[in-house]
């Protein structure tokens, strides 16, 4: 299904977005680093989108200032906070270019590794390149709950990936244009929903190892009980929907 942006098979245009919630300590460095990388690797057309998901700190203010200095940096703001899924949807559906990359705004990934994603995509002709952690810099309890979640996804849907929720991915915009609309908002099901719908639509998914670094500032918010509960609600909703679709 792959179609390249230019004749030599290289990706020449890219939308990059960062979901951000109370990341005032990290968002500026993350955005400026991405900007530097994009300029160094010779992407002819690019944009950076910060999705400020109802932050109560200065995340939005910092992002807006960055946008005033460079029109290729845009800010999408939610009010109030809607959740990681909603932030991902805003980034995906508002990206302008043929290829989309997203990663976390907390600085725990090195965006220069995007070149490895390009190489992997060119080598395999994949529509989606999914990162997986070489070594995840979080508490062991977080890793354990992630593995349990991935086991649920495998049992219910047959999707087997090393790290479904790794926050570093590259995908063709045609995936977003062609799959059924994404629905998850508050919970963490959004990555699984994206990959499941892409697989079911026939898109090719490959994986790539990425480095993960300790968080420099702020704190993660995705492990709250309401987020976990909503994730499982979204999971079973999609399961029921797929079963009904098969019976029609």
At residue 180's C-alpha, the angle toward residues 173 and 2, to 5°, is 35
Strands 168-172 and 99-103: antiparallel
pLDDT tens string, the chain, 248 residues long: the values are 434 344 345 899 999 999 999 999 999 999 999 999 999 998 999 999 999 999 999 999 999 999 999 999 999 999 999 999 999 999 999 999 999 999 999 989 999 999 999 999 999 999 999 999 887 766 777 777 778 888 888 888 888 898 888 999 999 999 999 999 998 887 678 999 999 999 999 999 999 999 988 776 656 555 566 677 777 777 777 777 777 766 65
- Cα–Cα distances in Å, from 51 out to 19, 36, 107, 124? 5, 19, 15, 30
Beta-bridge partner residues of 46: 14
SS3 49: strand
Count of Cβ atoms closer than 10 Å to residue 238 Cβ:
19
- Ordered structural domains, the chain, with CATH: 13-247 (3.90.550.10)
């Amino acid at each position: 299904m792959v179609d390249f942006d230019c004749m030599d098979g290289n990706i020449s245009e890219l939308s990059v977005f960062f979901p951000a919630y109370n990341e005032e300590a990290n968002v500026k460095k993350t955005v400026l680093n991405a900007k530097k990388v994009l300029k160094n690797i010779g992407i002819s057309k690019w944009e950076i989108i910060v999705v400020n998901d109802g932050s109560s700190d200065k995340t939005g203010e910092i992002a807006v200032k960055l946008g005033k200095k460079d029109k290729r940096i845009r800010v999408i703001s939610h009010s109030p906070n809607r959740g990681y899924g909603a932030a991902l949807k805003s980034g995906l559906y508002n990206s302008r270019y043929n290829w989309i990359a997203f990663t976390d705004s907390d600085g725990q990934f090195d965006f220069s590794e995007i070149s490895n994603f390009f190489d992997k995509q060119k080598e395999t002709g994949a529509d989606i390149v999914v990162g997986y952690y070489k070594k995840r810099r979080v508490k062991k309890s977080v890793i354990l709950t992630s593995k349990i979640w991935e086991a649920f996804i495998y049992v219910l849907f047959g999707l087997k990936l090393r790290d479904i929720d790794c926050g570093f991915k590259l995908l063709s915009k045609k995936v977003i244009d062609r799959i059924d609309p994404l629905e998850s908002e508050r919970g963490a099901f959004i990555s699984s929903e994206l990959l499941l719908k892409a697989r079911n639509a026939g898109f090719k998914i490959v994986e790539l190892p990425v480095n993960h670094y300790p968080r420099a500032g702020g704190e993660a918010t995705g492990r709250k009980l309401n987020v976990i509960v909503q994730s499982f609600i979204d999971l079973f909703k999609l399961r029921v929907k797929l079963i009904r679709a098969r019976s029609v």
